[in-house]
Amino acid sequence: MGATAFEQSLGLPIAEKLNFDDRGPIVEEIEGLIKVYQNGYVERPMVVPCVSPSLDKDLHVVARDVFIDRLTNLWARVYVPKGEGDYKLPLLVYFHGGGFCVGSAAWKCYHEFSGNLSSTARCIIVSINYRLAPENPLPSAYEDGVKAVKWVKQQANCRSSK
């Protein structure tokens, strides 16, 4: 394995001279949740932990993450009560809170809520993880919502035709 020397004559910037920390002043902030800097950098402190789709076995619910659109990174966490056989179940499409700029379907609070609701109500829950602003300005989140509902309908139609 060899190394190639940097060719100065190409006029490429040297990485050490680039200042990735020069974000400029904060132009927008939701205290403790999000900071938007002048250069467009968005900082989201991890105030709520993201968790895997696993759930307590006593809930008798299976959760799984599925992609709806890989291109836009639109995905959902689907909760299905165990042992329901071939019965049709009610379905709830859930959009997490956060004003379209914070939150995730993988946040522990939303995950536990959805798992408990699926177990108690004996319903399927599809919790949508839509794109967040400001990186993805509105109407991106709305478009994700429409795409997700169409995807849910398509999945239901596929299963009902079997």
Q: pLDDT, tens digit, for every residue of 124-137? A: 999 999 999 999 99
Angle CA(82)–CA(85)–CA(86) in degrees, nearest 5? Answer: 135
For the whole model, what pTM was predicted?
A: 0.80
What is the tens place of the pLDDT at every residue in 73-102?
A: 999 999 999 986 677 899 999 999 999 999
Token pair listed for 44: 């989201």
With bands split at pLDDT 50, 70 and 90, how would you rate the model's confidence at 159?
Answer: low
Domains of the chain and any CATH numbers: 16-43 (no CATH), 57-160 (3.40.50.1820)
Token pair listed for 128: 């949508």
With bands split at pLDDT 50, 70 and 90, how would you rate the model's confidence at 4?
Answer: very low
